[in-house]
Chains A and B, each alone.
Chain A
């Protein structure tokens, strides 16, 4: 059992707290320009995701990687979550997982 490398649930608002750390976020990719994709987080913030290959646009993608700045993530692993995803629930989960219930996650 190893809890040394957790990936924190983040949305656009929470990324600045975890710069340099491993994070996970679900984003909706709007544009893909070569190595960097422009995406919208679950709380409607614009984020840049680096290292994403060609992904289906307008699908929800879970990105796990290092938060490089307050609005960009360097993706290491990504998973296509399809286009039926409840961003509200995920957004609230991000807030709970970093707030009152942080001890269950980090």
Chain B
């Protein structure tokens, strides 16, 4: 599931399972029910600092809430960090994970032979990716580890923290900005939302837009130009000089937006320097 490719396609990585369980149909559905996602397993990438802060700020210590998401109902969290203080026993192995923002105790139960092999592969000082469930016992938070994997491509470390930032932004800003669909977000914090919820906004505003507050980004404007009926009719696509002229922006700025749209698969280059949208009118 996790691929360390250098091209990180945010749209593909975050849709269809993984961090944010989104429905594969892209149609805008204003009648959104949060209960649809009750069975969807959400996975939150977190830093130890985020867990610590959530723990400090929640009044009810048994219900941990991170960015408005009830972590106890979110079945899994994922962390990347350095393993320290490993203690191996017959039935389980415990260690401390230090991700640079803090340290958290982790516990992995050994139930099968494969688990024991994994446990032997856990060495102090190595970087690892963990998936697990946060558990609290007598006021102490530990991570019950389901999956442990050593990090081999160290870009995964930067990637994980960038994902933590993205997901934090998603939960705090993008979800708040659509209050009609999020019927819980603006109400009392006692009923937090359960995991990620699909956005009713079309993907072009969500992923290719660089601004979250609803203003049109360069990419949205490029798409608008390509969607003009007269431009859609062009078989060879719209020349980039024309797009730049229409929008009144520099070619450099335009190429940055075009490159990002191509990477997301929203537009393509039909003939040299001519672009067409892949979105049907």
Contacts and interface: CB of A to CB of B under 8 A. Distances in A.
Given A1-B140, A93-B161, A86 B104 contact: no
Contacts of A97: 161, 165
Interface string B29-62: 0000000000000000001111111010000000
9 contacts: A1-B52, A1-B102, A9-B100, A64-B100, A79-B82, A79-B125, A97-B161, A97-B165, A105-B49
Contacts of A3: 48-49, 52, 101-103
B102 A104 contact: no
Contact of A1 (B103, B127, B158, B161): B103
Interface string B225-265: 00000000000000000000000000000000000000000
B38 to A, nearest CB: 27
Contact of B104 (A1, A77, A103): A1
Nearest to A90: B158
A48 B131 CA distance: 36
A105 B47 contact: yes
Contact of B55 (A1, A64, A104, A106): A1
B155 A101 contact: no
A9 B89 CA distance: 34
B158 A106 contact: no
B154 A104 contact: no
Nearest to A4: B102
A105 B101 contact: yes
For the complex of A and B, 9 pairs with smallest distance between CB atoms: A3-B102, A81-B154, A7-B100, A2-B103, A90-B158, A3-B52, A89-B158, A101-B165, A105-B101
Nearest to A102: B49
Interface of B: 6, 47-53, 55, 82, 100-105, 125, 127, 140-141, 153-155, 157-159, 161-162, 164-165, 168
A7 B165 CA distance: 17
A62 interface: yes
Given A1-B55, A6-B101, A77-B125, 18 more contacts: A1-B48, A1-B102, A1-B103, A1-B104, A1-B141, A5-B103, A8-B100, A24-B100, A79-B82, A81-B154, A86-B6, A86-B155, A93-B161, A97-B165, A101-B168, A103-B53, A104-B49, A105-B47
Contacts of A62: 154, 157
A8 to B, nearest CB: 8
Contacts of B168: 101, 104
B165 A96 contact: yes
Interface string A47-83: 0000000000000101010000000000001010110
Contacts of A81: 154
Given A1-B52, A1-B55, A96-B165, A6 B159 contact: no
Nearest to B55: A1
A100 B127 CA distance: 26
Contact of A93 (B50, B55, B162): B162
A2 B102 contact: yes
Nearest to B162: A93
B55 to A, nearest CB: 7
Contacts of B105: 1
B102 A6 contact: yes
Contact of B164 (A82, A84, A86, A104): A104
A1 to B, nearest CB: 5
B204 to A, nearest CB: 23
